[in-house]
Amino acid sequence: MSSYQKDFYTLLIELKEILENTEVLINNTTKYSVYEWLDIKFENQLIENIVLNTEDSWDKIDTAIEILSKIDKELYRCYAPKHAICAGYRWMFNDMIGTLDYMRADLMKRFNCEEIKLQCGKFMINCMRVIPENSKSTAIMFCNPNAGLYEFTYFQSEWLEFYVGRGVDVFLWNYRGFGKSSGKPDLKNLVSDGELLANHIKSLLPSYKFGIHGESLGGCIAIHVSQSTNPDFLFADRTFSSLSNTILFSLGKLAYLCFFITGLSDIDSVSPYLKLNCYKLLAFDPSDKIISDLASLKSAIAYKIIEDSKISIKRVYLKNKSTHTSILTQNDCNELCIALKKIIEIWQKKNPEKTEIARVMRTEAEDQEYKSFLNKIIDTITDIESCGLPLKSLLEGKFLYLQVHLWLCVLEVWGLNKNFSRYYNYISITKGVMDIRINIQRIKMYENCTIIPELETLLRIFEKISEELQIKAQKQLSYDNDTSMSQLWMKKAGYIMPVTCGHCGIFSSLERSCYDRHLCNASFA
């Protein structure tokens, strides 16, 4: 304990001793110490009188009040509004309350915990094992997000409660330089520390199934640790493909340049992830404000599988150079982007009847019906999703061509999966194509009405996508047990789970249920 904590602890002990040595008489019959009475007073309903039992009790009560006054002053000193210098001093040096030690102690009080200290060279890695009441012989190692400490489960214990409630042993740990772990954090060292803990868990619990769950930066570390420790289950939760990708697409080219000038080490998660043969689950939020869709692990995996290119996504963007071996050719992709821009531009105009959509005079009723058909087409087009990412959301970004390209790669690898599924989901896009075709035919019923070419282009492209997805789905159903089928990538890419809770938000009950199904499917819980 620090000097501040020792002084505060001394005051509390003195107060406790005084209260234990001061007796009160209840209803002139029962004697209690004040300390005991404070603990049981709410259980006694019929109280007629309370009196101090000894002559020196008044002096003891006066002393207790003085100590309480000192405790109150110490607490006020910790939380009272101060100017910047005093607040900074208090934050840096006065660790009387509200510290990691208190959070750790609270964690150990709420759960059955065992602190573990691992030595990695001259540095110590602080870990915590949380043991459930009814263990199911499974263990999860949790890797924290950036700047996270396992003591923060004091505030956010959702994952801990989730796993412990399912009989899973949870191993928490702090990166170097965080909490009681010593040393300076470095990506290479963080991975080696994670490997040390993973091997310790496997040697400590050799008969247990072992999994790794990493969130954000922790997802990247979890992937690299998995590469050398071969877990039974991996959950890469809302993580990125590489640090440089995240910086480039979130902060821009200048920040990307500064990243390399400063000599900071980068880390790539795609190749190690694809080499893993365990049950792999990848979660992502299409609207993540911290890790953009272009920098997400999901996009990089899909691009690597489909294009099989040594050129990374960031180099495709910086050099404006890409290959196209996916469903659509480069020309198809260009036409799709141009058509989408054109249609949305026309749709957003206040008076669409004055545009090239309508070339002839119609009655008001016909005009309303015409607009209704057009709106249905555009609603259908913009609501088509690729693993939870709507096509219309791409139109708001500044990397339209690259986003559409990656959107198609993701579509080809995982289909339209929104929830737990082992098979391609192509039904919604097939239905969308039918709706587009029907409404275009309805518009053509008007005499001398010219359909804008962009609608025909979109119909052709989506028909092509729908046909390819149906072929892949049929192959997967026919050859589900044939691992030599190179056209099927589910085993290589793992499963995907779109979420809507933000970068570090809490999973909804539906998302937790979906994740629970994955754990069951992996025979893990």
Q: What does the pLDDT look like over 259-291, one tens digit per residue?
A: 888 877 788 899 999 999 999 999 999 888 889
Kindly tell me if the per-residue pLDDT of 510 is higher than 70. Answer: yes
Q: Where are the alpha helices (DSSP H) in 310-444?
A: 313-319, 330-347, 364-383, 391-394, 400-414, 427-444
Name the one residue in this structure whose structure tokens are 């501040």: 4
In b/e form, how buried is each residue of 13-32, taking b as 16+ CB within 10 angstroms?
ebbeebbeebbbebeeeeeb
**Which pLDDT band holds residue 384 (cuts at 50, 70, 90)?**
confident
Residues 334 and 342: their CA atoms lie apart, in Å, by: 12
CATH number of the domain located at residue range(s) 100-238 in this protein:
3.40.50.1820
What mean pLDDT is predicted for residues 477-504? Answer: 69
Measured CA to CA, the distance from residue 476 to residue 488 in angstroms comes to 7
Q: Which residue has the higher pLDDT, 114 or 392?
A: 114
State both tokens at 506: 């809490």
Question: Which residues fall within 8 angstroms of residue 395, CB to CB, at 6 or more apart?
Answer: 340, 341, 344, 382
Specify the 3-state DSSP secondary structure of 213: strand
The model's pTM is 0.80
- Say which amino acid occupies 356: E
CATH 3.40.50.1820 boundaries in the chain: 100-238
In percent, the amount of the chain with pLDDT more than 90 equals: 31
Helix, strand or coil, per DSSP, at residue 104: helix
User: Taking Cα atoms as reference points, which of 210, 206, 199, 207 lies closest to residue 170?
Assistant: 210
Other Cβ atoms within 10 Å of 328 Cβ, number = 21
Nearest to 124 by CA among 76, 177, 51: 177
Q: Is the distance from CB of 430 to CB of 467 less than 8 angstroms?
A: no
Sign of CA dihedral 99, 101, 105, 111: positive
User: 272: helix, coil or strand?
Assistant: helix
Binned at pLDDT 50, 70 and 90, residue 483 comes out as: very low
Q: ∠ at Cα 391 (387, 397), nearest 5°?
A: 110
Mean pLDDT for 157-164 is 93
The pLDDT assigned to 416 comes to 67
Q: In whole angstroms, what is the distance from residue 334 CA to residue 45 CA?
A: 80
pLDDT at 355: 46
Question: Is residue 406 over pLDDT 70?
Answer: yes
Element holding 126 (H helix, E strand)? strand 123-130
